[in-house]
Amino acid sequence: MLFFRPNIKITIKMHQKKTENWASQLGVILAVAGSAVGLGNYLRFPGQASLYGGGAFMIPYFVSLLILAIPLTWSEWALGRFGGRHGYNSAPGIYWLAGKKSFWGYAGTLGIIVPLIINMYYVYLEAWCLLYALQYLGGTLRMLGLPSFTLFEAISPGFSLGSSEQYGQFFSGLVGMEQNGSNFSGSFFSPLLISTVFCVLFNFYLIYRGITKGIEKFCKVAMPLLLLCSIVILIRVLTLGNPTGTPGQSYLDGLGFLWNPTREGQSILETLSNPEVWLAATSQIFFSVSVGFGLIVTYASYVHPKMDIALSGLTATSVNEFCEVVFAGLMIVPPAIMFLGMGALTPEKLGSSLSMGFIVLPNVFELMPGGPLFGFLFFILLFLAGVTSAISMLQPAVSMLESSLSFKRSHSVLLTFLLCATGTFLVVWFSQNAKMLDTFDFWAGNLGLFLLATLQTILIAWIWGKKKMFEELDSGAHMKVPRFIGFVLKYISTPYLLLIFGFWAWKSLGDRIHELCTDYVAQFAFGMVGVTAAIFLIITHFSMKHWKKFEENSQKLEETSYKKEGSK
């Protein structure tokens, strides 16, 4: 095939400006791991595991990791670098190049839209984490006898509200759950608004700085810090003993709540025969490993062709799993049981990452010795995890604008900023019951994600082909990827993904379509998703004409070059 002819330098296909590459292998691993490690690891995983059978949940979880996450991660890295070595740095271009049909170009647009829409509300969650961290910092300073500060009226530094109900009320008021527009009433420059604006600007500043100076540099600092915070908190949790002295509220009881495979009146087999458990485990893997987002494809396209991607892909996945299973699995649920008892973790609170993070855990930090310090460390950890994930969601759109419209980086960043800031404003304004956030999350973070992952797996396994995937994975490899991964991807991952996607659509789509017909906020959110999709579909449509011309010219150049070599 054209792409691996030895004498024709791939560089003639580089139809863009000078393409930036990652400066080091560690940098790209930390950036991809940072993209994957997010709020879902620390808040969603313990909740989902406790809710869906504890230890029994880990069986479908590991199955999904082995047959979906790892093969898909490797395939995404391979596809991404394949695109990058031909001068394509955005999902539409890479999909179009691999699929050789316009359909795949349009399908690749999902790899821009999905992360961009998720970023619109993710940055709002990032702002909550920053705000909570600063509030705890005030408490930590007071603990040390230094001048302290508080961000919230009538609340002392470090939070002391007394009960989960009061934390719930405080949180609802803070994020404006009662009424739309309440974030803008009263003082315009409320701490939450300032925090949101700061997070948006900070993310875009890092993106503006570029792959090497912005994303890579930040992740090289943020990821080790995140791991350090996790270790400190884990050590604290492990040394708590039984702080209340109440029977049934020790660390081991907390671990049992999360890990025991049998529940009252329910055996392991009964748990495993429930398809919802499999759906929950697969969704969790998707959320946590960041496969099917279009992010790995974009990041991998900036990897140098001679750099390893096989071990890098596996390392990034293992860092993510280490944070999720080892850190989150051992440090989030036990303290909640130790200080608040079994009754504190109701299915409602376990099912919602927001309740777990912003209502239950602050209550725990209030009761924990040295709580403000550990509260600060925990929310800084979540903030760092949030930033590393949020910036990875912006890069696909920026790459697309840079490569397709030949925009300067500053112009691409500005256009993406305008789009994202509009979406974030809508999320902040329509805050009642977090409706806008929830609707964005469903259409982009759930439907878009499943759809993109399914299409991408079909593209790689059935159209692009495992031969090219392994050729790409072997280039500069520090480990040999087992060949059965190709079989798994083609004959196990694809049907499994289709099955899970079908079950999810059957279970969830009906209610959401009904909501879309009746709720104006849902319609507004869907409209925003539609506008974003339309913008990038139009850009893709015109870009594909340019790409087709370029590929034709490249082919002519190659043929001319062959003739010249033949005549010599």
Partner 1 sequence: MNIGGWICMTVAVSTISSLFFWCCWKMFSGKPEQSRGDSSNDVDANEDYMDENSDRRQ
Minimum CB separation from partner 1 for residue 546, in Å? 16
Residue 200 binds partner 1 (CB under 8 A): no
Residue 464 carries which DSSP code?
A: I
Q: Does 191 bind partner 1 (CB under 8 A)?
A: no
Q: Is 164 in the site for partner 1 (CB under 8 A)?
A: no
Beta-carbon count within 10 A of 496 CB: 18
Q: Is 285 in the site for partner 1 (CB under 8 A)?
A: no
Q: Is 326 in the site for partner 1 (CB under 8 A)?
A: yes
Cα–Cα dist 436/425, whole Å: 10
The greatest distance separating any two alpha carbons of the chain, rounded to the nearest whole angstrom, comes to: 89
Report if residue 234 touches partner 1, rule: CB under 8 A: no
Q: Are 295 and 393 in contact (CB under 8 A)?
A: yes
25 sits near partner 1 (criterion: CB under 8 A): yes
Identify the burial level of 152 via C-beta atoms within 10 angstroms of its C-beta, where 0-12 means exposed, 13-18 middle and 19 or more buried.
middle
Give the span between the Cα atoms of 290 and 33, in whole angstroms: 9
Give the residue, chosen from 275, 305, 351, 465, that forms a contact with partner 1 under the rule CB under 8 A.
305
Which of 144, 231, 235, 252 binds partner 1 (CB under 8 A)? It is: 252
The answer to whether the beta carbons of residues 314 and 484 sit under 8 Å apart is: no
Among 76, 126, 216, 253, binds partner 1 (CB under 8 A): 253
The 3 state secondary structure assigned to 8-70 is CCHHHHCCCCCCCCCCCHHHHHHHHHHHHCCHHHHHHHHHHHHHCCHHHHHHHHHHHHHHHHH
Half-sphere exposure of residue 131, counting CA atoms within 13 Å on the CB side? 22
Q: Which long-range contacts (CB under 8 A, 24 or more apart) does 480-484 make?
A: 480/310, 481/74, 481/310
Give how many residues touch partner 1 by CB under 8 A: 52
Q: Rounded to the nearest whole angstrom, what is the least distance from the CB of residue 318 to partner 1 in the complex? A: 4
Residue 206 CA, chain-centre distance (Å), reads 17
Judged by CB, which is closer to partner 1: 323, or 419? 323
Q: Per rule CB under 8 A, is residue 157 in the interface with partner 1? A: no
342 contacts partner 1 (rule: CB under 8 A):
no
Distances, alpha carbon 65 to alpha carbons 96, 247, 289, 474, 484, in Å = 28, 36, 9, 22, 15
Give whichever of 105 and 476 is closer to partner 1, judged by the CB atom. 476
Nearer to partner 1, 161 or 331 (CB): 331
Identity of the residue, 176 or 476, whose beta carbon is nearer to partner 1 in the bound complex: 476
23 forms part of the interface with partner 1 (CB under 8 A): yes
DSSP assigned state of 489 = I
Binding flag, residue 550, partner 1 (CB under 8 A): no
- Minimum gap (Å) between residue 222 Cβ and partner 1: 18
Q: 397: number of CA atoms within 13 Å, CB side?
A: 33
Q: Name the minimum Å distance from CB 311 to partner 1.
A: 6
Q: Is 249 in the site for partner 1 (CB under 8 A)?
A: no
Distance, CA of 394 to CA of 126 (rounded, Å): 14
In the list 268, 414, 421, 492, the residue contacting partner 1 (rule: CB under 8 A) is 268
Applying CB under 8 A, does 42 fall inside the site for partner 1? no
* Candidate list 255, 272, 505, 535; residue touching partner 1; CB under 8 A: 255
Q: Indicate whether 72 belongs to the interface with partner 1 (CB under 8 A).
A: no
Classify the phi-psi angles of 154: left when phi > 0, otherwise alpha if psi is within -120 to 50, otherwise beta.
Answer: left
CB of 18 to partner 1, least distance (A): 5
Rule CB under 8 A: is residue 319 a binding residue for partner 1?
yes
Residues of span 50-69 touching partner 1 by CB under 8 A: 54-56, 58, 62
Does residue 402 interact with partner 1 by CB under 8 A?
no
262 binds partner 1 (CB under 8 A): yes
Of 144, 302, 88, 333, which is closest to residue 234 (Cα–Cα)?
333
Q: Does 37 bind partner 1 (CB under 8 A)?
A: no
CB-nearer residue toward partner 1: 26 or 516: 26
- Binding pattern for the stretch 471-510 against partner 1, x by CB under 8 A and - elsewhere: ---xxxxxxx------------------------------
Asked whether 357 and 386 are in contact (CB, 8 A), the reply is no
Among 59, 393, 385, which Cα is nearest to 233's?
385
Which residue, 225 or 479, has its beta carbon nearer to partner 1?
A: 479
Residue type, 463: I
d(CA 182, CA 187): 10
Residue 33 vs residues 255, 291, 322, 456: alpha-carbon distances, Å? 26, 11, 11, 20
- Taking the CB of residue 30, how many other CB atoms lie within 10 A of it? 27
State the Cα–Cα distance between residues 50 and 28, nearest whole angstrom: 33
CB of 253 to partner 1, least distance (A): 7
User: Interface with partner 1 by CB under 8 A: which range of 272-280, 309-317, 346-354, 461-469?
Assistant: 309-317
Cβ proximity to partner 1, 25 vs 403, nearer residue: 25
The answer to the question of residue 465 lying near partner 1 (CB under 8 A) is no
Work out how close the CB of 160 gets to partner 1 at its nearest, in angstroms, rounded to a whole number: 31
Q: Which of 304, 349, 409, 490 binds partner 1 (CB under 8 A)?
A: 304
Residues that bind partner 1 (CB under 8 A): 9, 11-12, 14, 18-26, 29, 54-56, 58, 62, 252-253, 255-256, 259-262, 268, 304-308, 311-312, 314-315, 318-319, 321-322, 325-326, 329-330, 474-480
